[in-house]
Copies of this chain bind each other. A is one copy, B any other.
């Protein structure tokens, strides 16, 4: 029965009961963390034999990878990713260990030097970005750092609300870009439909230098089920907008978050322009780590087999999250959530105005969640209801405890809010 249909008396009684349960948790002095999308130690152990690799440092072309040279990545490492992601090697740059760093630098270059021959964004009175949300806090932090005005775009089951996106970009040339996590989105686990990809690639934009920041962070990170993703680089090219897309990927959640290999891809023209600027910025990225990664996986199949192993590791954790939500919150009217097929998160919407309260209750009882609001630009969730659950890091036992407490907090916050509304 929906909690939202209870009488005030019943709500008061329920509140008292939930409060007792909550106090009992508090006395347990829990110290659990579901805040960040961090792989667990056990997941990372699946990679440990990489430490046995004595890197063969001569590239196929006979270049000594210990030395200077090769700004944009070892060719055979590009080939590995080309096979994995279906991106031509000439449209790719291999970076260091952080795709976030490549995204930041890409936006920094747009601000400092411009892109596609247009005015540098730092010379414009106003730059705006579309931010499908809930979304990834670190994306929003980058655009906030550059003083970009961020516009919330609601997510649908198919991706960003494309009617709204098309309408906005068509008329406002200060809208210079959009953040996208097209597969198993952070935090909802939504996979962009072919139609959404197609519309993003082909829509008319008032800004000539409109850019799609395509962060395919979870491109091979299924948990229950693999999903296809339409090739946006090709779609954009077919639509005559080949310079529109900056594509990013990394092995942070494939190998090691602290020592992965990142890449970016775009049109040949954008990649050439980027390489020219990068040639001033850096001597290039760690080629030995690129080769180490290649020599561990051998080929794209090696990566996919490894992802099967990681999916097995993650599945019981997602099971716990989803089953506990189902058991504790289904039909209460106090929460809704998505059941993702992959990625790193489960996104929960509490009863309106209850996210901050829920996270704060959980924290007080020893369970750290991602901060309420973090999934929205400026940390401002207009309805104060979205909470991101990151189940990967804790053990199953810890996670079960944390989820039990979390659901209790959702209910306690929800009931208190209902009573507040009925005063």
A187: shortest Cβ distance to chain B, in Å? Answer: 17
Question: How long is the Cα–Cα vector from A418 to B280 in the complex, in angstroms?
Answer: 38
Q: Which of A92-100, A300-308, A394-402 contacts B (4 or more CB under 8 A)?
A: A92-100
Question: How long is the Cα–Cα vector from A65 to B55 in the complex, in angstroms?
Answer: 20
Question: How long is the Cα–Cα vector from A104 to B112 in the complex, in angstroms?
Answer: 12
Does A420 belong to the interface (CB within 8 Å)? no
Q: Are B283 and A98 in contact (CB under 8 A)?
A: yes
CB 8 Å contact bits of A277-297 with B (1 = contact, 0 = none) = 100111111111100000000
In the complex, given contacts A51-B55, A97-B283, A289-B289, what are 19 additional A-B residue pairs having Cβ atoms less than 8 angstroms apart?
A41-B64, A44-B64, A51-B57, A66-B258, A67-B258, A97-B286, A98-B283, A98-B284, A101-B283, A108-B112, A111-B112, A112-B146, A122-B122, A142-B280, A142-B281, A252-B283, A259-B288, A286-B286, A286-B289
A67 neighbours in B (Cβ, 8 Å): 38-39, 41, 44, 256-258
Question: How long is the Cα–Cα vector from A147 to B122 in the complex, in angstroms?
Answer: 14
Question: How long is the Cα–Cα vector from A180 to B70 in the complex, in angstroms?
Answer: 27
Interface residues of A in 16-51 (CB under 8 A from B): 36, 38-39, 41, 44, 47, 51
- Enumerate 8 A-B pairs (CB-CB under 8 Å) in ascending A order: A47-B66, A101-B281, A101-B283, A105-B281, A252-B283, A258-B287, A259-B289, A286-B286
Q: Are A66 and B285 in contact (CB under 8 A)?
A: no
Question: How long is the Cα–Cα vector from A286 to B289 in the complex, in angstroms?
Answer: 9
Q: Are A97 and B98 in contact (CB under 8 A)?
A: no
Instruction: Please count how many residues in chain A sit with their CB below 8 Å of the partner chain's CB atoms.
Output: 50
A374: shortest Cβ distance to chain B, in Å? Answer: 14
**A contact face: mostly helix, strand, loop, or mixed:** loop
A146 neighbours in B (Cβ, 8 Å): 112
Name the 4 nearest CB pairs between A and B, nearest first.
Answer: A259-B288, A101-B282, A66-B256, A68-B257
Question: How long is the Cα–Cα vector from A9 to B47 in the complex, in angstroms?
Answer: 75
A283 neighbours in B (Cβ, 8 Å): 97-98, 100-101, 252, 257
A282 neighbours in B (Cβ, 8 Å): 98, 100-101, 104
CB 8 Å contact bits of A106-150 with B (1 = contact, 0 = none) = 001001100000000010000000000000001001100110000
Residues of A whose CB lies within 8 Å of any CB of B are: 36, 38-39, 41, 44, 47, 51-52, 54-55, 57, 64-70, 96-98, 100-101, 104-105, 108, 111-112, 122, 138, 141-142, 145-146, 252, 256-259, 277, 280-289
A38 neighbours in B (Cβ, 8 Å): 67-68
Residue in contact with A145 in the complex, picked from B36, B277, B285, CB distance below 8 Å: B277
**Known A-B contacts A145-B277, A286-B286; A52 and B51 likewise in contact (beta carbons under 8 Å):** no
